[in-house]
Amino acid sequence: MKYIKASLFFLMLIGVNHLYAKEKIKIACIGNSITYGAFLPDRATQSYPARLQQMLGDTYEVTNFGVSGTTLLKNGNKPYWATTTYQSALKSEPNIVFIALGTNDSKLINRKHLSEFSDDYKDLIKSFQNLASKPKVILLTPITVFRIDTSGIWDKPIADIMIPAIQNRAFQQDLEIIDLHSLFKDKEALMPDKVHPNAEGANFIAKRLYELLHAKFYAFDISNGIKEQKKEKSFYGFKNYEFTFKGRQAQIVEPKNAIKGKPWVWRARFFGNEPQADIALLERGYHLVYCDVAELYGNKEAIQLWDDFYVYLQKLGLSKKAVLEGYSRGGIYIYAWASLNPKKVSCIYADNAVMDVKSWPGAFGKSKGSKKDWEIYKADFGYKTDEQAKTAKDSPMDKVKDIVKGKYPMLHIIADEDEAAPIDENTIPFAKLIKAAGGNITIIHKPGAKHHPHSLANPQPIVDFVLRATTK
């Protein structure tokens, strides 16, 4: 397969004149008051476009084209389209355009026009793509809003209507997209009026954009290698190829561009549930894959299917080592495979994970378990009685010696009040065994939380863990 270094690809995008004339790369930041830097003590130096300029240095020219109060909607109460700033942005002939609009569109006065949001967004994108400079357009989701007054700016229509529309634009027009909404889920303290970030919050946005611009991406089209009949769907703005593998549902989601080594995340179960970490890693060039082995609980059939799928993924060109991700009972699946394939794992992320089948589905402890799933588990392994199943060694808890052979780091996120997979029957004793065996495991607690929802609202700690494990 052919790979094109991002630096060369980028030069092709911005025009060869920049290569010889050493012109500055022009970045246009399109947005509302959050882009403008409203309420900052010194917006000229503290707005996120200003901070981005400081981070990028003299080879870039970042211009703040934010206008307070504006909407992306043409029929909004203050359309960005009607501003002279918008015309100035077009005339600037940028090489890169960041679009961060939508917050004001959530006001009650504008909600009646939200059915027009996607088409208006498409038109705004095209207005820049049609420029002679042929800029690279990057979409930014609105940041989280913490106001509770539903007559004004409100987070619910942002999350439920506008962000899906923005993701659909990214999918339909094959554009890069950055999820700023999740990034601010835990940053209410940085938003004095519950809408606008302070200087520290603006800096978070600038850092994320800087990270994107400096990532070493490669062009890599995995779809050409998938010979099976497949459906192409959107996974939160990214291309998701659905197909059948050995009679089982399989999915491969590709990033806009891959990073060196083609790392990938292997979701074991509940594909698409609480996907914020998966989305964040897709943004950073990781592939996301899934091969259904429900409900086999890591038995020989499940392992063989995954072994075959792993070989298949190797032929497609992905990394030799996988990031294994397991929610709930998915913990059984990832550790079953990892215990037999320790050298094929770069790291493990487990979330409210089942580490002992006697806890769930067995219900031989605090958990209510699941009688139905306990019978399925017994049938999967050929056990006739509860006693046979209870004394078996099928749980991650029983495979610690094989698990630590891989010397890969493990991250467990646990809800301290988990009623389905109680932590003192699952992750806590498992972690003690791992540490005693010389393994590397980190635990993030969620005080007061139940089994659902999984993950972290802001997935940054998960992302940081994966990046450390896979980009050595």
Cα–Cα distance for residue pair 109/152, rounded to 1 Å? 8
Assign residue 412 a region (left: φ > 0; alpha: ψ between -120 and 50; beta: otherwise): beta
pLDDT for position 165 = 98
Distance (Å, rounded) from C-alpha 399 to C-alpha 336? 8
DSSP-derived letter for residue 319 is -
Q: Report the distance separating Cα 455 and Cα 354, nearest Å.
A: 15
pTM attached to this predicted model: 0.94
pLDDT of 29: 98
Give Cα 427 to chain centroid, integer Å: 24
Write the pLDDT tens digit of every residue in 193-220: 999 999 999 999 999 999 999 999 988 9
Rounded to whole angstroms, the Cα distance separating 4 from 432 reads 46
**Which residue blocks in 346-459 are alpha helix, DSSP H?**
371-381, 386-390, 400-403, 427-436
Model pLDDT for residues 422-446, shown as the tens digit of each residue: 999 999 999 999 999 999 999 999 9
* CA–CA separation, 228 and 206 (whole Å): 41
Across the chain, what does the average pLDDT equal? 95
For 13-56, the pLDDT digits (tens) are 444 444 444 789 999 999 999 999 999 999 999 999 999 999 99
**What pLDDT does residue 218 have?**
87
CB neighbour burial string for 241-275, b if at least 16 within 10 angstroms, e if fewer:
bbeebeebebbbbbbbbbbebbbbbbbbbbbebbb
Q: For residue 214, which of 156, 284, 282 has the smallest C-alpha distance?
A: 284
Beta bridge partners of 250: 243, 291
Tokens of 365: 């402890």
Q: How far apart are CA 140 and CA 16, in angstroms?
A: 27
Tell me if 27 sits within 8 A of 63, measured CB to CB: yes
d(CA 196, CA 173): 29
| Tokens coding 424 | 């003192």
pLDDT score recorded for residue 472: 67
Report residue 406 CA to chain centroid gap. Answer: 26
User: How does strand 60-66 pair with strand 264-267?
Assistant: unpaired
SS3 content of the chain, % helix, strand, coil (to 5): 40, 20, 40
Q: State the pairing for strand pair 287-291/248-254.
A: antiparallel
CA pair distance 367, 353, nearest whole angstrom? 13
pLDDT in tens, 147-178: 999 999 999 999 999 999 999 999 999 999 99
Cα dihedral 80/86/87/93 (nearest 10): -150
With b for 16 or more beta-carbon neighbours within 10 A and e for fewer, the 335-348 pattern comes to: bbbbbebeebbbbb
Cβ atoms of 366 and 425 within 8 Å: the answer is yes
Residues of the chain with pLDDT under 70: 1-21, 472
* 320 half-sphere exposure, CB direction, 13 A CA radius: 4
Euclidean distance between the first and the last CA atom of the chain, given in angstroms as a whole number: 24
Q: How far apart are CA 318 and CA 321, in angstroms?
A: 8
